[in-house]
Amino acid sequence: MRRPVVGVIGSAHLVENRFPAQRVGERNLLAVKDVVGALPLMFAGTPEITDIGALLDTVDGILLTGARANVHPTRFGVEAHVSYEPYDIPRDELALELVQACVERCVPILGLCRGFQEMSVAYGCSLHPEIRELPGRMNHRMPRLDNGEIHPDQDVVYGDRHDVHLVAGGTFAKIFGKEKIRVNSLHGQGILEPGKRVVIEGVADDSTVEAIRIEGAPGFALGVQWHAEYNPQTNAVNRALFEAFRDAIVARI
């Protein structure tokens, strides 16, 4: 059997605040290589460069990564506001169409953090710019020092922060072999109102949505709010998720 290829979406970035570029966090690439056993293929998160049809003719799966930018609020019927910034509008345009194309063509797709939000919005969800501002919610942002700077220890930044409660007998409960897991938390935006085809299968202690699947998808179409690309080589939860992604890819080849 040939080695599978997984497309990993890029995000807009300005090098030295002057040179437009596309970037992908290396942890995403290593997760695809080490756990999925696939060749990670970076592609630009902009329709100006990436043709979705040609991309899906080339890859065996798609990984939608996390990113600094949020999905633009006009994508779910809300006026633009500074609280939703920053944006990556070209990635929105590509990713939302790509999600639906993957589902229609039965191409396995896994969304992480922003990718989870892209999958949600593609199927009708609305988002809140700061989920921690809602009554009863915890701060889901990454850990910071007292002076406001990001914590210097990556193991603290990506450390497990809260439990996720999974639907009994659901897809995620089967993947993890349990109905409660513990995950990291590095996001501001979160699902506010779910779309009709977005099935919620995992929530945090404060009811923040953490795991979804797309109803009626003929293939693997899952998203998680946490950063599962962090250390799936040794983290049992994140490894199980990427292994399930791998199994879906291998079954399709």
28 close to 73: Cβ distance less than 8 angstroms: no
Q: Which of 102, 113, 128, 210 is catalytic?
A: 113
DSSP per-residue string spanning 91-155? HHHHHHHHHHHHHHHT--EEEETHHHHHHHHHTT-EEES-GGGSTT----SPPB-TTSPBPS-HH
Q: Which of 118, 201, 210, 229 is catalytic?
A: 229
Q: Which of 72, 128, 140, 227 is catalytic?
A: 227
189 close to 71: Cβ distance less than 8 angstroms: yes
Task: Identify whether 227 is a catalytic site residue.
Answer: yes
Query: What element of type H or E holds 26?
Result: helix 26-31
Task: Identify whether 215 is a catalytic site residue.
Answer: no
Name the nearest CA neighbour of 226 among 248, 208, 214: 208
Task: Identify whether 79 is a catalytic site residue.
Answer: no
As annotated, the active-site residues are 113, 227, 229
